Amino acid sequence: MGNPHATSIAAMVGAGKAVTSETFAGVCEVKHRLMQAFLAATHELVTLQKQQTTALIAGDPEFARFEALIHAAGERKDAVKYQLISHMQTHGC
């Protein structure tokens, strides 16, 4: 069975609710920091993808200018994701 705390956080994010430090009460400090970094990186990536989609819909012929930014944001998201996974496996939290 999955982590009920993680499930409740995912439900909050899915419902558009703010994830605050109170959300992570009782969570390892390093895990908390990495989770926050992952959420921030994911938000950055989705924001850039939304901007590119909006540019494409608007007929902006330069919509591809977002590609390098999206690629870099995806790499940052993946890096912190793997740091989080590694920490959870090593630390057991």
Condensed to tens digits (0 to 9), the pLDDT of residues 33-68 reads: 999 999 999 999 999 999 999 999 999 999 999 999
List pLDDT tens digits, range 61-85: 999 999 999 999 999 999 999 999 9
4 part of a folded domain: no
What distance in Å separates the CA atoms of residue 88 and residue 64, rounded to the nearest whole number? 36
Helices (H), 1-93: 4-14, 29-57, 67-91
Taking 70 as the threshold, does the pLDDT of residue 13 lie above it?
A: no
Supply the range of the domain harboring residue 83.
29-91
- pLDDT for res 1: 42
Please count the structural domains in the chain.
1
16 part of a folded domain: no
Average pLDDT, integer, range 85-91: 95
| pTM reported for the whole predicted model | 0.70
CB burial of residue 25 (10 Å; 0-12, 13-18, 19+): exposed
